[in-house]
Amino acid sequence: MQIPTTNGQADALVAFPDDGERHPGVLMYADAFGIRTALREMADELAGHGYYVLAPNFFYRQGPTPLVELPAHIGEEARPAIVAQLMPLIEAHTAERALSDADAYLAFLTSQPEVGPGPVAVTGYCIGGLLATRTAVARPDLVAALAAFHAPVAADGFESLRHLAAEVHFGHAATDLTPADLGELNQALDAAGVHGSSEIYPGTVHGFTMSDTDAFDPAALRRHWERLLPLLARTLTER
């Protein structure tokens, strides 16, 4: 699938129920490792619950997926070299680029014949969680649900979160956020009137949702689905 943007064509993964019906749309941002088997499995799982899932290659300016060669399992020995290749792409993906792309992704998502009318959700993992948060902040008119996992959701400052209209769930890795940090973030969310939940997943490390990494935690992935699916049901399918 190709998404037209102001800077070219972004290749993307799509997954949706093959039943001829229209379904709520979900924009899914991958982690920095991008579109691969582990992410396809997550998109397929979500589609199986009745959603149209769009997962773009947000590094499309540098080329189509895969931009770097990934092993079947991204172990700790291989990770530093892979991250070193990806860091220049991450640094080049400015907030301005991210927001321009977000408009293109949302326009594409909402125009698909398999996507029903109404609001959409955005989800994201690692850097994708930050991109999902930026998208929800920029488009409160369209985004009704935001879920981000092991992500620097406050990287743009607490003030930016005041613009959120979506119901949120932030699932943090225990190695990414201290309880004191979590308390500060949650106080900022409360002060901004943001509805939802924000919690540390016990015993987890950064990347806990990704089944092809050493960080993977099956129990935490189940918890992720237990938080994500009810959020989508409340905000999208019950309207």
pLDDT of 66-104, one tens digit each? 888 999 999 989 999 999 999 999 999 999 999 999 999
Instruction: Note if 126 is an active site residue.
Output: yes
Which residues are CB-neighbours of 64 under 8 A, at least 6 positions away?
11, 57
Instruction: Given the residues 101, 126, 212, 224, select the one marked as catalytic.
Output: 126
* CA–CA separation, 5 and 100 (whole Å): 8
Give the position of tokens 């979590």.
182
Spans of the chain below 70 pLDDT: 238-239
Which of 31, 101, 176, 212 is an active site residue? 176
Whether 49 is catalytic:
no
Reading phi first (left if > 0) and then psi (alpha if -120 to 50, else beta), residue 217 is in: beta
* Catalytic member of 93, 150, 169, 206: 206
Q: Strand, helix or coil at 156?
A: coil
CA distance 229 to 236: 10
Distance in angstroms (rounded) separating the CA atoms of residues 146 and 196: 9
Q: State the distance between the two ends of the chain, measured CA to CA, in whole angstroms.
A: 29
The first and second tokens of residue 16, run together, are 């949706």
Active site residue 206: yes
> Quick one: residue 197, left, alpha or beta (phi over 0 = left, psi -120 to 50 = alpha)?
beta
CB of 121 closer than 8 Å to CB of 26: yes
- Other CB atoms within a 10 A radius of the CB of residue 195 amount to 13
DSSP letter (8 states) at residue 221: H
Collapsing DSSP states into helix, strand and coil, what is residue 183?
A: helix
H helix or E strand, kind and range, residue 5: strand 2-5
Q: What is the pLDDT of residue 67?
A: 87
* CA dist 36 → 75, 84, 87, 130 (Å): 15, 19, 18, 20
Pairing of strands 52-56, 8-15: antiparallel
Structure pTM? 0.96
Q: Which residues pair with 208 in a beta bridge?
A: none
pLDDT of residue 124: 98
User: What pLDDT does residue 1 have?
Assistant: 86
- The proportion of the chain whose per-residue pLDDT surpasses 70, expressed as a percent, equals 99
pLDDT at 239: 43
β-pair partners for 216? none
Residues 215, 14: Cα–Cα separation, whole Å:
25
